[in-house]
Amino acid sequence: MGRKFFVGGNWKCNGTAEEVKKIVSTLNAGEVPSEDVVEVVVSPPFVFLGLVKGLLKPDFHIAAQNCWVKKGGAFTGEVSAEMLINLGIPWVILGHSERRLILNESNDFVGDKVAYALSQGLKVIACVGETLEQRESGSTMDVVAAQTKAIAERISNWENVVLAYEPVWAIGTGKVASPAQAQEVHFELRKWLQVNTSPEVAATTRIIYGGSVSGANCKELAAQPDVDGFLVGGASLKPEFIDIIKSAEVKKSM
């Protein structure tokens, strides 16, 4: 079975209830390819999960932007995987570079989170990516392989994992990776999965690209053979997110 195109919208720490309602109504009204062509998952801040769940059309799905590393309890300010399941939230984003870098989440910590979230029945968008300094020093593959390894060591089933390659230098900067740069890392990541997990995991795991994806650049990126979709930040708050979802058609016609 082919890898279904995946488009995630990471709303980060943005929005008021009124703005969220507006974004959802734009999404609901958008003419997009059917669910068998593209899987769409939007990720509002925790406080709006219930609101979005109540309003979003059922062929779009919802992700939390984080969850706690183990069972809930005396962890002030955290939200557990069990709570997300209890609320009917099927997805969670883990290992986003903003959490790795600003909140010092280590590879091991992210790996533990991914394993625990999966064990509780969540599906995971697991993010990896190098900083500009790491790219310029030629260590991109070492960095993303180490981040992926910390996950691979802790899980055996990749069915509910989408791997998001998000170069830090491209996030929120308007400096998108070129299609060739994205394809190169996606190809290497798939090869890494082939060698270190299994050929089946490598062939079936979706590797999506994130970093300044827009309505203008999405089609060219989507045409790359190892780019299976996108994780979108800034543009997921705008009507152009619909155009990004539509870029799934590029794959269909390939």
Q: Which residues belong to the active site?
A: 96, 166
- Based on the shown chain and the rule CB under 6 A, indicate whether residue 232 belongs to the binding site for ligand PEP: yes
95 versus 202: smaller Cβ distance to ligand PEP: 95
Whole-number minimum distance, CB 72 to ligand PEP, in Å? 26
Whole-number minimum distance, CB 211 to ligand PEP, in Å? 5
- Based on the shown chain and the rule CB under 6 A, indicate whether residue 234 belongs to the binding site for ligand PEP: yes
- Please give the residues from 150 up to 179 whose contact with ligand PEP meets the rule CB under 6 A: 166, 171-172
Whole-number minimum distance, CB 244 to ligand PEP, in Å? 10
Q: How far apart are CA 37 and CA 99, in angstroms?
A: 31
Q: Which of 6, 9, 10, 193 binds ligand PEP (CB under 6 A)?
A: 10
Q: How far is CA 68 from CA 53, 99, 109, 172, in A?
A: 21, 12, 10, 25
Phi, psi of 196 (to 5 degrees): -100, -10
Q: Please check whether residue 159 is in contact with residue 171, taking contact to mean a CB–CB distance below 8 angstroms.
A: no
- Based on the shown chain and the rule CB under 6 A, indicate whether residue 126 belongs to the binding site for ligand PEP: no
Q: How far apart are CA 179 and CA 199, in angstroms?
A: 24
- Based on the shown chain and the rule CB under 6 A, indicate whether residue 212 belongs to the binding site for ligand PEP: yes
Whole-number minimum distance, CB 197 to ligand PEP, in Å? 24
What the block records as the tokens of 177 is: 């990776």
3-class secondary-structure state, position 234 = helix
150 versus 231: smaller Cβ distance to ligand PEP: 231
Per CB under 6 A, which region of 75-83, 138-146, 149-157, 205-213 contacts ligand PEP?
205-213
3-class secondary-structure state, position 206 = strand
Per CB under 6 A, which region of 63-71, 113-121, 195-203, 228-236 contacts ligand PEP?
228-236
- Give the alpha-carbon dihedral of 59, 33, 253, 231, to 10 degrees: -60
Secondary structure of 158-171 in HEC code, one letter for each residue: CCCEEEEECCHHHC
**Regarding beta strands 5-10 and 229-232, do their DSSP bridges make them parallel or antiparallel, or are they unpaired?**
parallel
Per CB under 6 A, which region of 61-69, 111-119, 182-190, 211-219 contacts ligand PEP?
211-219
Q: Which residues bind ligand PEP (CB under 6 A)?
A: 10, 166, 171-172, 210-213, 231-235
